[in-house]
Amino acid sequence: MATSPLIPGVNGLPKVILSDSGNSRADVYLHGAHVTSWIPAGDEERLFLSSASEFRDGAAIRGGVPVVFPQFSGWGPLPKHGFARNRAWELIGADAGSARFQLRDSDATRAIWPHAFLAEFMVAVPDRMLVMELVVANRGEESFSFTAALHTYLRVDDIASTQIENLRGLKYFDAVLKQEALQTEDTLAFPSEIDRVYFGATKVIVRDGRRSLEVQNVGFPDGVIWNPGAKLAATLSDLDPDGYRHFVCVEAAIFREPITLGPYQMWRGGQLLTSEPTPADFVGPVTIESYPRRRGGMTLTSELTQSEGAASMDQQREENIGSDLWGEARVSDVLAAKRRHLIVAAAPTDRVRAIIERLKIHEISQMPVLDDGKLIGLITESTLLAHLAVPGHSVDDAIAPMVNQQVTTVAPDRPAQSLLNLFGGSQAVIVVENDRVTGILTKLDLIEYLTARLRQSSHNRTASA
Domains of the chain, each with CATH number or no CATH: 7-275 (2.70.98.10), 313-451 (3.10.580.10)
More confident: 446 or 240: 240
Please give the share of the chain, as a percent, with pLDDT higher than 90.
50
Residue 278 has pLDDT above 90, yes or no: no
Q: Is the pLDDT score of 457 beyond 60?
A: yes
Out of 120, 133, 214, 251, the active site residue is: 251
- The string of DSSP codes covering 107-170 is HHHHHHS---EEEEEEEE--TTEEEEEEEEEE-SSS-EEEEEEE--EEE-S-GGG-EEES-TT-
Say if strands 266-275 and 144-150 run parallel, antiparallel, or are unpaired. Answer: unpaired
User: Is residue 362 within 8 Å of 338, Cβ to Cβ?
Assistant: no
Up-side HSE of residue 457: CA atoms within 13 Å toward CB? 20
- Nearest in space to 223 (alpha carbons), one of 103, 37, 119, 72: 72
Q: What is the pLDDT of residue 425?
A: 58
For residue 299, what pLDDT is reported? 23
Q: What pLDDT is recorded for position 179?
A: 95
Q: Give the residue-averaged pLDDT of 54-68.
A: 92
How far is the C-alpha of 50 from the C-alpha of 403, rounded, in Å?
A: 45
Would you place residue 341 in the very low, low, confident or very high pLDDT band (cuts 50, 70, 90)? Answer: low
CA dist., res. 377 & res. 274, Å (int): 34
Mean pLDDT of 231-251: 94
Q: Which of 151, 246, 341, 362 is catalytic?
A: 151
For the segment 5-38, what is each residue's pLDDT rounded down to a tens digit?
A: 889 999 999 999 998 877 889 999 999 999 999 9
Alpha-carbon torsion 373, 375, 377, 382, what sign? Answer: positive
Are the C-beta atoms of residues 295 and 258 closer than 8 Å to each other? Answer: no
3 DSSP 8-state letter: P
Pairing of strands 90-94, 98-104: antiparallel
Q: Does the annotation count 251 as an active-site position?
A: yes
DSSP 3-state of 459: helix
The mean pLDDT value of the chain amounts to 83
Would you call 180 a catalytic residue per the annotation? no
In angstroms, the CA 243 to CA 248 distance is 10
DSSP state of 458: H
* Mean pLDDT on 234-261: 94
> How far are the Cα atoms of 45, 335, 339, 419, 441 from residue 444, in angstroms, in the given order?
39, 12, 12, 12, 8
Outline where DSSP puts E strands in 359-415.
366-371, 374-380, 408-410
